[in-house]
Structure 1
């Protein structure tokens, strides 16, 4: 049974689908997830009892849904993160960039916020691509090495990397929050063309995937160290 005293991040670890409830109620479950549910409630969310009823209602369908990643060993969890998030992220950034650029160029005069959206998206894209490459090339191999040989020396090498990655996660969270504000919760204007609507829909999906991605790293993988 999920209670109001449980940390938001721990609730998502226990019931992954609760992430959708938190997202729709503007509750941060990744970088800001280390607080009790009762403290995470705000005027943008449903009341506490309503959230508890919704989350505990998920428990009935939670059994037998397949892989529970919190129980994977470190190497398997890293492999899952890379295939579930890193590889698709690179592909999506490559595909989405031309659409963001086109919409800003065509509609930026009438909707100047699109120019700022392009600027924020470009910075976020560069940050995330550099970030995931650093994880793949440097941090994840060090995690596996430390898992196989848990020496103080390796831990001393690993900890600054984790601290830096968590800071970068926070920065990505701020950028996504800015994108949500600029897009009015990813709601295009009534007269928006198909490409305009496509960009907003895919930015919203990017937010969802990034929050889930960061949660797995911050609150599952990194928390082990």
Structure 2
């Protein structure tokens, strides 16, 4: 069993134990863009007992060891990139256009009495554009460079990749900020008691979008990009 402590970085915990992402998400602990801090510090920022969180982590770890499942963090670079493309990039291209009409309808029907829904619509439009542009850039430009570099790492190639990685991480950070705002203004994606089916559908799917985007960003920031930084 991996010996996590309160001094272990949150991003390292999720790298070693991806299922811990669900726990951190529920506790509203940032494990992707802001994950390079200790569990103790992250818990303290949320007024949580770090040792209680650690206990929950060990419970998750025990269940996963019993299952003996493969984890993306253990994949080679080509397999990891293919996994990201198939699970997250393809998923975004399918889900974002499908979700858009529901959000438009929700803002149109309920925006007058629930004004925050107009901001939800604005944020979604920004996220949709940014995430789709981002994934296209990765698939067409950056991922092929990464595969070439990690197969034959050279200082020159690393320097060529560096600005791409910096830009992608900045875009990840911006998407994370938009998702955090979505969670804040929707009261943790909690619809009002009298909410209609569309209202509840939109909130549920936005929460799923947040979950999968954070998982996606974690695999890139804390695993794939870290491998680039450690090479050469």
| TM-score range normalised by the length of the shorter chain | over 0.9
Inter-partner Cα distance in structure 2 for 1:65 and 1:204: 28
- Paired position in structure 2 for 1:130: 133
TM-score by length of 1: 0.97
- Paired position in structure 1 for 2:160: 157
CA contact (8 A) 2:110 2:117 kept: yes
Inter-partner Cα distance in structure 1 for 2:96 and 2:47: 30
- Taking the TM superposition and a 5 Å limit, the aligned residue runs for 1:157-176 are 157-176=160-179
Inter-partner Cα distance in structure 2 for 1:61 and 1:111: 42
TM-score by length of 2: 0.94
Inter-partner Cα distance in structure 2 for 1:194 and 1:5: 44
CA contact (8 A) 1:75 1:144 kept: yes
- Paired position in structure 1 for 2:90: 87
**SS of the residue aligned with 1:189?**
coil
- Taking the TM superposition and a 5 Å limit, the aligned residue runs for 1:53-132 are 53-63=55-65, 64-132=67-135
Inter-partner Cα distance in structure 2 for 1:112 and 1:60: 45
Pair 1:25-2:27 in alignment: yes
Shift of 1:62: 1.3
Q: Which runs of 5+ in 2 are unaligned?
A: none
Inter-partner Cα distance in structure 2 for 1:142 and 1:45: 42
Q: Which is further off, 89-98 or 144-153?
A: 144-153
For these two proteins, the number of residue pairs brought into alignment is 225
Runs (4 or more) in structure 1 with deviation over 4 Å come to none
CA contact (8 A) 1:26 1:45 kept: no
Task: Find 1:198's aligned residue among 198, 201, 208.
Answer: 201
Shift of 1:67: 1.8
Q: CA RMSD in A?
A: 1.1
Inter-partner Cα distance in structure 2 for 1:59 and 1:44: 22
**SS of the residue aligned with 1:179?**
helix
Pair 1:46-2:48 in alignment: yes
Inter-partner Cα distance in structure 1 for 2:96 and 2:208: 12
Inter-partner Cα distance in structure 2 for 1:188 and 1:110: 14
Alpha-carbon deviations, 1:87-127, whole Å to 9, x = none? 01110001000000010011111111111110011001100
CA contact (8 A) 1:96 1:199 kept: yes
